[in-house]
Structure formats: structure tokens, C-alpha cells
Amino acid sequence: MAIEVFNRYENKYLIGEKTFARIRERLSGYMELDAYNRQHETYQIANLYYDTEDNHLIRTSLAKPAYREKVRLRAYGTPDGDSVVYAEIKKKVRGLVNKRRTAMKLSAAYGFLESGEPPEPEPGMNRQVAAELEYILATRKLVPAAYISYDRLAYFGEGDLRVSFDANIRSRRTDLRLESGAYGGELLGTGERLLEIKTSRAFPLWLCGLLSENKVYPASFSKYGAEYKSLLRGKAAADAPYAKTAVGL
């Protein structure tokens, strides 16, 4: 059964292709490839984020309070109505990330998040997580807000150490269905990748050395946060001609 509860720190870094190649070459001596990546160079992760009509969850998250949360559906690859997806609650408390999720069919997940009524129990469903989602949905009206997908290369190390590289991070605010596939505007610059290091422990010395040698420094980057900032920039650009006209008058 897939892990349903995670408690760990997530550290993020934006790197270029040359740095990615150097780090990847060294990682193979310390870590194992994710099972998905033993078959393919990368695998696709698709997320559908849920928020209030006024984007309360992401606006609150970007303000960086001690506690913040997100709700999303996650699929591996492009699903259909009968595919298993994960309904997730992601919380961050003083830097520690807690992720809780439950598996269910996509059609059932859509119905649950729209109505607030949990589906009939299915194989693999975590009833406690479903109950937590039911409570969240009862306290605020959530709707599909943003689709974000990316291509991932991941490694597993000792304990719960996980290192991943995400490329082709795409987002959209229309056609908000996971089964519509991966397309949308790019959130990273040309050749950029998002490096994430996740662990509940201190970094091993070899990893600290690897980051230092390659001059890799932490970056504050949230995929959903970057998408929302991009949305705001687009609105500001769209409003700019009107602002200039008003000044001219």
C-alpha cells in the first residue's frame, strides 16, 4: 500500500541544466532511482488544486503564516474516470510539512470534493483522511482553482531522504480536469529545474558537500504560489493599458 502520511521538511532550489547534470551524476553513488524512473527517464505528476472563489488558501499561504494548508487531487500520468488518484491535504506548520492522502477513483474524488459527501469506501481508501477532508469541505466552499503538472526524476536514500528534479512545470486556470492532460503555461525559465530535498532528518554530509560544491542555495518556491503570482502579473498587465489611459485623461 502507498504511504498515506508524510511528515518531513521540504527544501527547494532552482538550478540550471549543467548543475542538474553534475548533481545527478553524483547522486547515483548514494541513492536509488525511484521505481517509476527505472522504466522511464521521468514520470508525470498532475495536480488539481482546490481553493475558495477568492483564492483564500493560496493568498494565506503566500503570507507565510505559522500554519498553512492546501487541498488537491494528484494523479500519476493522465487519468480517466476509473483511474486511482489521491485526494491530499498538505499542511505546513513552522516549516514541517505534513501530507495526508487517500486513494479513490477519479470520478468519486470529483464527486466528493464537489458535494462534500465522502464516497462509499473503496480499496485503499483511508477513512480518517476522508473524514478530515469532509470537515475541511464543510467549513469552506472549495472549487477547482488551478491545474499544475510536471515531469519528475526522483531518488530515494537512507531513511526517508528523497531528492527529486521537476521540469516542464505547466499550469492553467481553464479546463480544470485531470483527464484533459498536461498542457499550460510554463512556470520555470528555459533550462530551469526545481530541485527538492525532503527528509525529516539533517542532511547527510555528502549531500551538504554536493550542494556547496555546486553553489546551490535555497529558494522560496511553491508551484501553486508561482502559478498564483503569474496570474496576478497577467491581470496587472491586462489592466495596465486602462491605467495609462486614465493617466492620459
Torsion of CA 238, 241, 246, 249, to 10 degrees: -160
Which residue has 488539481 as its cell numbers?
Answer: 48
Range of the structural domain that residue 199 is part of: 5-248
Structural domain total, the chain = 1
pLDDT of residue 148: 98
Q: End-to-end alpha-carbon separation of the chain, Å?
A: 65
What CATH number is attached to the domain comprising 173? 3.20.100.30
Q: Which residues of the chain have pLDDT under 50?
A: 1, 243-249
Query: Which three cell numbers mark 227?
Result: 502559478
pLDDT of residue 237: 78
pLDDT of residue 240: 67
Question: Could you give the CA distance from residue 100 to residue 210 in angstroms, rounded to a whole number?
Answer: 31
pTM: 0.92
In one-letter notation, the amino acid at residue 227 is E
Of 222, 185, 187, the C-alpha closest to 72 is: 222
CB under 8 A, 24+ apart: contacts of 23-30 = 23/195, 23/210, 23/214, 23/216, 24/153, 24/165, 26/210, 27/155, 27/163, 27/210, 30/157, 30/204, 30/206, 30/207
pLDDT of residue 242: 53
**Greatest extent of the chain over all pairs of C-alpha atoms, in Å:** 66
Question: Could you give the CA distance from residue 202 to residue 161 in angstroms, rounded to a whole number?
Answer: 9
DSSP 50-78: EE-TT-HHHHHHHT--SEEEEEEEEEES-
pLDDT of residue 95: 86
